[in-house]
Amino acid sequence: MGGMSEVSLQHGMTRQMAVSQSMQTGMRILQASAFELRQIVRQALETNPMLEELPDASPEALEDGPDGDAWNEREDGWNEFTAEGRFSGDAAARRDFMYESVVAPESLKTHLMDQAQHSALTGRARDALFLLIDALDERGFLTESPQELEEQGCFSMRDMDEALAALREMDPPGVGAADLRDSLLIQLEQRGLKRSLAFRLVKRCWRELAAHKYEEAARLLDVEPGDVAEALEVIRSLTPDPGGAYAPGGNPHLLPDVIVEEGPSGVLEVILTSEYLPRLSMNERYMELMAEGSGSRELRQYLRRAFREGQELLRALDMRQETVLRLARVIVQRQEDFFRSGPSRLKAMGMEEVAEEMGVHVSTVSRACRDKYLLCRWGMKELRSFFSAGVPSEGGVSRDGAASGAVAAGAVQELMRRLIAEEDSSKPLSDAGLAAALREKGVNIARRTVAKYREQMKILPASLRRGI
């Protein structure tokens, strides 16, 4: 009796371990980026004899081939999701569109890497330069301190200082700065204006400049107010956003998981891209060998384990693709205004409400969003970027009079960006003026929040935008 319960307990534990292993595989694959997923599949092909790559992706070859029926009848549904977007007549045009949209424009980092290749730096200082370039954000700012990066890469401070000095001499001017003020100082230095009044103003009177206290700045530096006004013209001629002219995210490792495009009838189509993935199948020869029960006990055990792992991988891939596709469809449905009219129409949206609509746990939505990208007419967008808390819109009504909830913070920033782009450069909008203009568009927002968003966007205060 005791022996029986022990055996059943052991059996139960084995099953539980198998389930937990399967769940781990599923979670790992669900949260993998397209680039990571390609690596996982490639590694599985190399290490698991049960898995093989189907060489011909044409539907004819699949249907007419010796194992065509077996492929079409597979239970795990992997075919359904990898095939979507693969066999359509415009697959080549779609790939061209992806390439043009993602690869063609030069990114800031690519531009800097090209310069680094021709740098006079050698050895560890050269390696440190590549690390610094990799650490830049899209605007060209170095958000991590050189000290942190020095520890991360085990560089000496001398190597890091050399690398940083080389980076700050590169094009575009102002790149490698810690913040906006630092960027303006670098640009002034590049122009040979380190001893100028403009340099001293930015260096010593940054607060006064931001607060329009020009007379106070003149007093602090012991100069005439007229001299300060001349120096301000020089400052306004500088670039507040060094990386602004370059395509964001020109990362060769960045692959879109889904493409959203408007169909002939005006319907928004969500296409799962799987071109980057090898197409998998089970090796029939090894399947037969396992079924026959021939070969040694060790071989049979090894094949059974390889079969289980192969099936586990296929199911996890299937589940991932299905979840990402479903999630993208819900996002497109809920954010239709964004896809049709652009970033200023992004709505606030929580992961909880999307999880509820999909009938899954919120952690599944979070994992499915991780490092996943959607390509549409507005560029490459991270799935996570569609989720944000919002700023209440006045009376819960949008600009076109339709009922709406909160406006996403990203949409508010986009509206701010537009207002600043369209402003009279001789009378730039103050933060209070921006807040008032946003209220007219139905977005209630405090002046201090406007100031916070403007700083996040690395946009100069009104006093420094005059005449730009």
Please give the Cα distance from 202 to 210 (Å, whole number): 10
Average of per-residue pLDDT across 161-189:
89
**Given this model, what pLDDT does residue 326 score?**
95
pLDDT digits (tens, 9 = 90+) for 80-97: 444 343 444 455 565 555
**Dist CA 174 CA 188 (whole Å):** 9
Amino acid type, 104 = A
Whether 396 shows a pLDDT value over 70: the answer reads no
User: Of the spans 21-30, 200-209, 288-297, 448-457, which averages the highest pLDDT?
Assistant: 200-209
Q: Is the pLDDT of residue 467 over 90?
A: no
Tokens describing residue 129: 């330069």
Average pLDDT of span 14-36: 75
Q: Is the pLDDT of residue 347 over 60?
A: yes
For the cut 60, the answer to whether the pLDDT of residue 8 exceeds it is no
Residue 171, sorted as left (phi over 0), alpha (psi -120 to 50) or beta, turns out to be beta
Top-confidence residue, 9 or 67: 9
pLDDT digits (tens, 9 = 90+) for 100-111: 544 445 578 878
- Overall average pLDDT of the 138-157 stretch: 76
Residue-wise DSSP of 125-190 = HHHHHHHHHHHB-TTSBB-S-HHHHHHHHT--HHHHHHHHHHHTTSSSTTTTBSSHHHHHHHHHHH
Cα 72–chain centre separation = 35
Torsion of CA 325, 329, 330, 331, to 10 degrees: 100
More confident position, 273 or 203: 203
CB 307 within 8 A of CB 360: no
Domains in the chain: boundaries? 30-54+76-103+253-387, 108-236, 394-465
The rounded distance, in Å, linking the Cα atoms of 236 and 463 is: 9
pLDDT at 320: 93
Which amino acid, residue 368?
A
Confirm if 262 and 249 have CB atoms less than 8 A apart.
no
CATH tag for 394-465 (out of 1.10.10.60, 2.60.120.10, 1.10.1060.10, 3.90.226.10):
1.10.10.60
